[in-house]
Chains A and B, each alone.
Chain A
Amino acid sequence: MLSAYLPVFLMLLVATLVALGMFTATSLAGPKKPTPEKLLPYESGSNTTGASHLRQSVKFYLTAISFVVFDIEAAFIYPWAALFRDLGWVGFVAMVIFLAVLAITLVYEWKKGALEWER
């Protein structure tokens, strides 16, 4: 069973090695002649203004939580669809109730204006 996942582990390993190798190679092979100007934070050639970290609008959070919720919904539909014929009407009705509740959630979100970016 586990040998079927060997390619996945190999890919993870190669990806990690490539990322680490790139960082190591650039720091080893790149020329380093630091001057005070070079060590300044770069912001399109002009002097930096304000803090480097800015607060994000709460609209991003609303979008993110909507994504998580409907992502989980999709994750539940996938195993149900794989066994759709064997589950029969009971499984169908169960999924219809599940989807109906989340459809109400979507309508609520819509009516509250959470899907609008400008408000």
Chain B
Amino acid sequence: MAPESPLFDGEFLKKLEYLHVISKRAFSGQFKAERRARTRGTGLEFADHRAYSPGDDFRHVDWKAYQRLNKLLLRLFEEEQDLPIFVFLDSSRSMFEGTPPRFHYAQKIAAALCYIGLAHLDRVSLFAYSDHLRKELAPQRGKGQIFKIFKFLSELRPEGKTDTKEALTKFCASRSSHGVAVVISDFMDPQGFTAGLNVLRHSHHEIYVLHVTGQANIPQEIRGELKLVDSETEVTLDLEIKQSLISAYQSELENLCNDIASYCRKYRIGYVHTDTTVPFEEAILQVFRHGGFLR
């Protein structure tokens, strides 16, 4: 399912450049960049003193303090490094259903977030997952890499069932670095949404959950006696769909959203819910900002 091309126009990309991915915590980066890192380094902004130990660079000794205190103290500066951003895009079959398909929406979101990260020299990694980590784009830096992102996204095809826990467990097991983990999914996970998010949480990532739904308006054709087919498992369900059932379904969807939201609140996880009916630009420029994910 090819994404709409081009994903964004130039004007929108300019708007995206003014946005930042918010990180409440400092993570160790790999390269120098604009983010305050956990380590002290060679930045311009003074951070702290520490006692001199042999081998330290004499250039960082605070001689004025030595005169006053008769102690050799070393001046420490803030280290500004890049921010590791891990974007997990659910590419299970369920994401490809709906009108329009949720995946197209999620695809744009992922691309936009990646661009925001790239524009601020963050290290953006992109993962497509279903019941396992299907595809991975190595960390990218710089706006010029956005086309790799686009290519990566455009090559994604629907496949497999949703198993967030399995996929993220594999991710966490293979990496020791931490960063901002953005999970873009519809969370139609038979194992539940908590298991997967718990894995990330326990791995000390700063988590943002982007919940994409596409069924705020049930299509009119889902009425009467139907055989509903699960796109992931092919399981069927005979139903006589009446308005009461539609209402019940929407109520269940709302419950799911509420459950995810309360879970996220509980563990201070950023949660943004958007629907495919919400215009994409509005979602990026307003919804995500109000959700505390972007500024």
Chains A and B form a bound pair: no
Chain A residues at the B interface, C-beta cutoff of 8 Å: none
